[in-house]
Amino acid sequence: MYDVIVLGAGPAGANAALEAADNGLKTLLLDEQKVAGGQVWRAKSKSILKAPSTEASEKGDELRTKINQSAIEVKFNSRVWHIEKQDDDTWLMASDAEQLTAKALIIATGSQERIIPTQGWTLPGVIGLGGATVLFKEHMMVPGRRTVVAGNGPLVFLVASEIIRLKGTVAAVVSLNNRIDWLKALPSMLSNPSLAWQGFKWIFKLYKMRVPVFWQHGINKIEGKEKVEGVTVIKVDHNWHKSDQAEQYIPAESVCYGHGLMPAIEATRLAGADHHYDELLGGWVPTIDKYGRTSVSNLYACGDNAGILGVSVAPMRGRMAALAVLEDLTGKKHNKKDLKIFDKAKKIGLAATALSIPRSGLQSFITKDTEVCRCECISRREIEHEIKTGALSPNAVKSGTRCGMGPCGGRYCSESLALITQHISKKTRSEIGLSTARSPLRPVALDDISNEIDYDKLPIPGVSPL
Ligand SMILES: Cc1cc2nc3c(=O)[nH]c(=O)nc-3n(C[C@H](O)[C@H](O)[C@H](O)COP(=O)(O)OP(=O)(O)OC[C@H]3O[C@@H](n4cnc5c(N)ncnc54)[C@H](O)[C@@H]3O)c2cc1C
């Protein structure tokens, strides 16, 4: 049995594991990826190992070296699909076909993309903004020859500038945020000048390359028969409702599209922790104290899954959660100096997340025929019918339509479903709530979760007496 298992080896989880192991706790660090680094410090694939390093790849290499030199036990390529608390106050996790137990569990599963559908969003050639960063970091590839980058939040500009760095063509940037939204975020971002400078460089690079930037616009339709051929963009009002101004057509081969990040809370929900809705932190978050203690004993959350604050605070949040575990398991006190640094750094994260908060008008992009649940092919029309005939909770819509019952387990469509429900019922997100948390946390193949079976050893019942 471990003292602590850390689920997720991104900047938060890996630093939690380092702090725990440095303090003598028997620590297991686990991730479904091949190596540590998470989303932002993702390792390069073998085919691009010799490519020039970037700041993110260097930070990732540094982290991986520290882990290799530590006493942490690691388990990569390992997908956790079930978590439960056992009677004797230990945690049990199922990772592929193995069961692991620990006295304490730190969940550092990061974030996931928020993608609110528009017409044509399921065409080949459309990928999420976060997904695009995976292509850049792991494979140094661009999504297509001519790409429209659209949505809201800082990832829009990061993705566009990365495409240019990798010699791709950005046909246009379509930003739901306007320049004033960015100016409002500036004072908080300036408390970390290097981050603010980075944001400025992204936008400057686009203007220098004469990339058209459509401020306060959204993609009304992604056009194409078999794959993306172009997009039509439309001006939006302050709440991101589509305006009645004329649309503009932009030819393109691919679209990178997204609406910020949301905390990945399936694991803390399955483990039974209390959650609440906080749009400033990116949506539903586990209710935690400053050190990451959840409402369930010996369960901790750190990193973006505990609220989207970004990579600049993730390592600190990880270390703080590990110190809380240390205190709770051994009684060893630690000094509280981290808290002050954390409060300052948090401001920057909150400013970036503010640019990503979806506004009410975003639901107007989901037309009646637009598929909301891609896994089960459920359109807005079907969802609206269900809501208007009395299904006001996500569970009710799910059982009536199968929305959210496919392989993604509702991770992608739940947000659109909530926006549509909110639009019709005028209820708050807290009132609408979430559907019930269920295993498996991620899709797993039955073959992966069953142990090897020796069929010759299976007991064969005797012939039943006549
Ligand atoms: C797709 C994507 C791309 C992003 N790209 C960038 C970027 O380029 N720049 C930037 O500044 N920010 C980016 N972000 C935001 C960035 O992830 C965070 O700010 C930062 O990495 C947070 O660190 P973290 O440790 O909290 O989470 P993460 O870095 O996301 O780490 C979480 C880890 O948990 C693992 N995990 C989750 N669930 C399971 C499970 N069930 N079983 C096993 N392992 C699991 C994941 O594989 C991952 O390695 C991106 C986010 C996403 C979702």
Quick one: pLDDT at residue 353?
A: 82
- Choosing from 7, 34, 40, 439 the residue with most ligand 1 atoms within 8 A of its CB, the one to mutate for a pocket test is 40
Contacts of 301 (CB under 8 A, 6+ apart): 106, 107, 108, 268, 273, 286, 288, 292, 294, 321
- The predicted pLDDT at position 75 comes to 94
pLDDT of residue 335: 67
Beta-carbon neighbour count of residue 179 at 10 Å? 12
Nearest C-alpha to atom 52 of ligand 1 is from which residue?
A: 130
Q: Whose CA is nearest to atom 53 of ligand 1?
A: 112
Give me the pLDDT at residue 337, please.
66
Kindly give the parts of the chain with pLDDT less than 50. Answer: none
Residues with CB under 6 A from ligand 1: 8-13, 31-33, 38-40, 79-80, 108-113, 130-131, 133-134, 261, 303-304, 310-311, 314, 441-442
C-alpha 242 to ligand 1 mean position (Å): 32
**Pairing mode, strands 98-107 and 299-301:** parallel
What number of other Cβ atoms are within 10 A of residue 344's Cβ? 11
Distance CA 168, CA 75 (A): 36
- Alpha carbon of 382 to ligand 1 centroid (Å): 33
Ligand 1 pocket, mutate which of 111, 270, 288, 305 (most atoms under 8 A from CB):
111
Question: d(Cα 219, Cα 231) in Å, to the nearest integer?
Answer: 7
Q: How far is the CA of 39 from the centre of ligand 1 (A)?
A: 4
Tell how far the Cα of 193 is from the centroid of ligand 1, in angstroms.
23
The protein residue whose alpha carbon is closest to atom 30 in ligand 1 is 110
Which residue's CA is minimally distant from atom 10 of ligand 1? 40
What domains can you pick out in the chain, each with its CATH number? 2-112+262-334 (3.50.50.60), 115-259 (3.50.50.60), 366-432 (1.10.10.1100)
CA-to-CA distance for 354 and 266, rounded, in angstroms?
23
Q: In angstroms, what is the C-alpha Rg of the chain?
A: 23
Q: Which atom of ligand 1 lies nearest, measured to the CA of 137?
A: 8
pTM for this prediction: 0.91
Q: Rounded CA gap, 422 and 127, in Å?
A: 26
Give the length of the chain. 466
Q: How far is the CA of 249 from the centre of ligand 1 (A)?
A: 34
Measure 314 CA to ligand 1 centroid, in angstroms. Answer: 10
* Number of Cβ within a 10 Å radius of residue 253: 19
Q: What is the pLDDT of residue 42?
A: 86
Q: What is the dihedral of CA 369, 373, 378, 384, to 10 degrees?
A: -70
| Closest residue by CA, ligand 1 atom 35 | 8
Nearest CA to ligand 1 atom 33: 8
